[in-house]
Amino acid sequence: MSQTTWIIIAIIAIIVLWVIALYNGLIKLNNRVKEAWSDIDVQLKRRHDLIPNLIASVKGYMKHEKTLLENVTKARTAAMTAQESGDNTALAEAESTLGGMLGKLQIAVEAYPDLKASNNVSALMDELSDTENKIQASRRFYNGMVRDFNIKIESIPNNIIAGTLGFKKYDFFEVEDASERKNVKVDL
């Protein structure tokens, strides 16, 4: 074989090895994004499971807050439906609404000293607060993984190979409710 043939074979081998390495890297990042989404899913399920217990615990005390309790229940149902549908955009919207409702519920609970002093309600509120923190951490991790994956598949020349192999961008899990982006006004 001539020297030109060996050079062509070497170039083809390098290209094949590069494509294999790129593909394996994309698969690795893709699986990390799915894992990060699974973490969010687990925390959202945990929050959905806590809400009925909290509602049941506060219902007797908060007769004047019946509309708020109903709205929390509706928001929970909408979030669970969105979670089951697999539509990440609808889920982000529903969870944003649910988060806002839970914030209002926490404020309402503080207006009832007997309710606030209840060990059961206090424990549930602490658990819910912990879950909210875990959801935020999971969202940050997921968005970081999505960022890394999207950068990898959008970079040249990776974008050509990634598009050919069928890899698509992921959407970030973002706050949809514009009111959550506003600064909170505090009057003392």
Two structure tokens written together for 64: 């004047």
Contact status, residue 30 vs residue 121, Cβ threshold 8 Å: no
Could you list the pLDDT tens digit for every one of the 188 residues in the chain? 789 999 999 999 999 999 999 999 999 999 999 999 999 888 888 888 888 888 877 776 666 677 888 888 899 899 889 888 888 788 888 888 888 888 888 888 777 777 666 777 778 888 888 888 898 899 999 999 999 999 999 998 889 889 988 999 998 887 655 444 444 443 43
The SS3 of residue 168 is coil
CA distance 164 to 83: 30
Superfamily classification of domain 3-176: LemA-like domain (1.20.1440.20)
What does the domain layout of the chain look like in residue ranges?
3-176
CA distance 171 to 167: 13
Closest CA to 124 of 49, 23, 29, 186: 49
CA distance 7 to 13: 10
Whether pTM > 0.75 for this model: the answer is no
